[in-house]
Amino acid sequence: MREKLEQLAKAMTDELAGVKTLAELQSFEVEKLGRKSEFNALLKGLGGLSPEDRKTVGMAANRLKQEVQAAFDAKKAELESTSAGALADAERIDVTVPGIRPPQGHLHLTSQAISEITAIFRRIGFSRVRHPEVDWDWYAFESLNMPGDHPARDEWETFFVDAPNDPKKGKMVLTPHTSNGQVREMEKRKLPIRMINIAKCYRRQIDVSHVPMFHQFEGLLIDRHVSVTHLKGVLDHFAREFFGPDRVTRLRPFHFRFTEPSFEVDISCGICGGTGKLEGGAKCRLCKEGWLELGGAGMVHPNVLKAGKIDPEEWGGFAFGWGVERTMAMKSGVRIDDIRVLYKSDFRFLKQF
């Protein structure tokens, strides 16, 4: 029996020497050292020996068991340390390697222009305001001195909303310009007014220089003793801030129903410097004789003030309304051949700005 035990112990130590993983070691422990192991079965046979033999064989058995246990513990320690090392090697992090920056988006070109325009006017005391982009005919036309049957309305290629009419304010429209904000601002009854209303506008139009949804910024100043020179000063200020220090505006007589007098505002061309000619005498291709057309402006018509319940004998003011897309397309460095590309969400275009 003693021999048997010794053989078994030897076989177990040999087997342990060949164990390569902690998982193998675990099954070894269950099979060979557990309660149901062969070794244990032999130990149970000790009871059938003579007291003499039981003592010597028992002592030998204990020693063998301890030897196997020691070999087992040594193996376990060895495997644990190498597996921890392997793990550490595999998961080593080099903290000195530069990080990977996640891709970062940026504001749309139009949003960037809106922020810039807002900031320029804020510095001279104009507050950015918001008014509805779906509004009543009254605010979009009627209160702006454009009666229902007036042909001037044709210019605005309006989308009408299929909604019940308001008995006083008429039909509902998608605002075709930001001028609807004028009388709405007057209704707040806070004078003087210095507002800049920037919003989406909608017209039935689409080609290289028009989109059905675009943006305008509308300036309105109402105060006492306001003259055209104030308007010109504000427009020149904007032109210098937005386009560059050497740019100026000019006012060309025009006609709008809601201003009197009315103007079209031009800005000196940034390519030919306002001369209309390039070096060598060729005609500038960007402008018309040195000027680019920016948008409309004028002195607020007394009828518009009356619609806003403001006394035109006491108060006066100026207004202007320009397209954001158009204005930014005229800034040098931004080349937009086809304005529709702004709203096609094509990253190849948008990523450039």
Binding-site ranges for ligand DAH (CB under 6 A): 177, 179, 218, 256, 259, 295-298, 319-321
Q: How far apart are CA 310 and CA 314, in angstroms?
A: 8
Q: How far is the CB of 263 from ligand DAH (least distance, A)?
A: 8
Q: How far from chain centre, in Å, is Cα 181?
A: 27
Q: How far is the CB of 164 from ligand DAH (least distance, A)?
A: 26
Question: Tokens representing 319?
Answer: 């207004």
Whether a cis peptide bond, with omega within 30° of 0, leads into 147 is no
DSSP string for 54-101: HHHHHHHHHHHHHHHHHHHHHHHHHHHHHHHHHHHHHT---TTSPPPP
Q: How far is the CB of 251 from ligand DAH (least distance, A)?
A: 11
Q: How far from chain centre, in Å, is Cα 50?
A: 90
249-256/316-323 β-pairing: unpaired
Query: Does residue 177 contact residue 138 with C-beta atoms inside 8 Å?
Result: no
Phi and psi at 67, nearest 5°, equal -65, -45
Question: Tokens representing 277?
Answer: 């000619």
With H, G, I as helix, E, B as strand and everything else as coil, classify residue 186.
Answer: helix
Q: How far is the CB of 286 from ligand DAH (least distance, A)?
A: 22
The length of the chain in residues reads: 353
The smaller minimum CB distance to ligand DAH, of residues 16 and 307, is found at: 307
Q: How far is the CB of 322 from ligand DAH (least distance, A)?
A: 7
Q: CA of 141: how far to CAs of 92, 175, 188, 270, 283, in Å?
A: 70, 10, 19, 35, 40
With H, G, I as helix, E, B as strand and everything else as coil, classify residue 231.
Answer: helix
Q: Is 41 exposed, middle or buried (0-12, 13-18, 19+ CB in 10 A)?
A: exposed
Q: How far is the CB of 301 from ligand DAH (least distance, A)?
A: 9
Q: CA of 80: how far to CAs of 198, 275, 322, in Å?
A: 69, 85, 75
With H, G, I as helix, E, B as strand and everything else as coil, classify residue 207.
Answer: strand
Burial readout 225-243 (b: 16 or more C-beta within 10 A, e: otherwise)? ebeeebbbebbeebbebbb
